[in-house]
Copies of this chain bind each other. A is one copy, B any other.
């Protein structure tokens, strides 16, 4: 059974190669999408090449809805968007993938059904299909080289769906074991280095000593140091002192 998560259907219209259908299934499932519809696949259905390619996402193929026409595949949708690589001479709103998936997410959140159309590999959707869509999705590719294949197009739309739907953490810091050091620990680290380096004759000449100390304090405090980092840095200095005290 497809997941309960409300989501758009991805409709592959007259896809040619089974491999591409399988790769599209994988691309969808990478972003948690599992409602595929197929309109008149060229080599019939089911297709063993699709299954071989879909490894890990084969369930999407088993559950795919097979339709004879585009009209049948989109019959229950209240918003239909068609992906195209080139202008079609049809008056129609053209959305970026980002805006299209925001729109899809808004509509789906109020209980509507959304279908996204993807054309056959070689020629893309026919105008007859596009005339049935409420809008067009155009991926902003390099005009000198626009060669997205079917599964890549599915991947980008799936990615934008996930972006539109989820709170993405744009920036977090992975903390390995230890938490962040507190200011008092940084202070003590600074103290240790300053004291030991004083003994070692680092702050020379006298006229520059104060500036050097300030810079060293500043170096520690602008680093995002964990407790483990602080321990490591204490260890470094301790070791240098031990090595000196051992004598050569």
Contacts and interface: CB of A to CB of B under 8 A. Distances in A.
A90 B140 CA distance: 35
A56 interface: yes
B152 A91 contact: no
B95 A170 contact: yes
A30 interface: yes
A148 B96 contact: no
A15 to B, nearest CB: 18
B145 A91 contact: no
Nearest to A180: B91
A32 interface: yes
B163 A91 contact: no
A61 to B, nearest CB: 14
B168 A27 contact: no
Contact of A30 (B141, B170, B226): B141
Interface string A127-144: 000000000100111101
A162 B140 contact: yes
B90 A147 contact: no
Contacts of A93: 171-174
A169 interface: yes
B56 A99 contact: no
A90 B176 contact: yes
Interface residues of A, number: 52
Contacts of A172: 93-94
A170 B31 contact: no
Interface string A105-137: 000000000000000000000000000000010
A171 B95 contact: yes
B171 A99 contact: yes
A14 interface: no
A96 B171 contact: yes
Contacts of A175: 91
A92 B173 CA distance: 5
Query: Which 7 residue pairs of A and B lie closest in terms of their CB atoms, listed nearest first?
Result: A99-B170, A32-B142, A96-B170, A89-B176, A29-B145, A91-B176, A93-B173
Interface of A: 26-27, 29-32, 56-57, 87-96, 98-99, 136, 139-142, 144-148, 152, 155-156, 159, 162-163, 166, 168-178, 224, 226, 228-229
